[in-house]
Amino acid sequence: MKLTLLFQSSKKGAFETSHRSTSGGKSFRISWNLYMKKKYQIITVIALSCLVIGFFLSIYITVEEKIPPNAVVVITLEDKLYHSIHFDYSCVAGKTAKTTTLEKALQAGYKPDPHCRELGYFRGNRLFLFHYLLSKIGFPVNSRWDKDGNWLW
């Protein structure tokens, strides 16, 4: 069955589309406005379907949160290491400790404390891609640090 599109002008100046079967079937007319309405409905359904599929796929894609440069860390002057504010006392016992931002500690040549790194203190939450994108838009998500670099837990 082959369909042929014919554009004809009507008395009102609107366009109509005529579909006629070459196998001798019935012909029918669709107004141009109805044709465009259906076209936009199909585009809308496809766009919404892509968004829903993208949402469900984003659950399987995760993003690791990184420590922000303005996060507050504790530095020890003797061994040139920086520590989480949730450090073990044994890490700073008998040493001079000061607080600073991570960015300043890295610029001064401090390295992360291996014990704090093993405990995962410098790792953030693992976020679904959906949550990560929402956080970039400005929606609050569960994070280990606030926007000012303070540790939340």
Total-model pTM: 0.58
φ, ψ dihedrals at 95, nearest 5°? -120, 160
DSSP string over 99-145: EEEHHHHHHTT-EE-HHHHHTTTT---EEEHHHHHHHHHT-----SB
φ, ψ dihedrals at 124, nearest 5°? -90, -170
| Average pLDDT per consecutive 10 residues, the chain (153 residues; last block may be shorter) | 46 49 55 78 93 86 86 91 85 87 93 89 84 83 80 77
Rounded Cα gap, residues 72 and 63, in angstroms? 22
What pLDDT does 110 receive? 93
Query: Are 18 and 83 found together in one domain?
Result: no
What pLDDT does 10 receive? 47
Q: Is 38 helix (H, G, I), strand (E, B) or coil?
A: helix
Q: Output the six-digit token pair for 126.
A: 């693992």
Question: In total, how many domains does the chain have?
Answer: 2
Query: Are 73 and 133 found together in one domain?
Result: yes
Query: Are 131 and 78 found together in one domain?
Result: yes
In the sheet with 97-101, reading across from the earlier edge strand, the strands are 97-101, 72-76, 81-83, 111-112
- Return all residues near 3 (Cβ < 8 A) that are at least 6 apart: 19, 20, 21
Query: Are 133 and 81 found together in one domain?
Result: yes
Terminus-to-terminus CA distance in the chain, angstroms?
68
In a domain, residue 128? The reply is: yes
Query: Are 42 and 67 found together in one domain?
Result: no
Query: Are 67 and 48 found together in one domain?
Result: no
- Return all residues near 74 (Cβ < 8 A) that are at least 6 apart: 82, 83, 84, 85, 87, 92, 97, 98, 99
What pLDDT does 44 receive? 93
Q: Report, in angstroms and rounded to the nearest whole number, the Rg of the chain calculated over CA atoms.
A: 31
Query: What is the residue range of 113's domain?
Result: 63-137
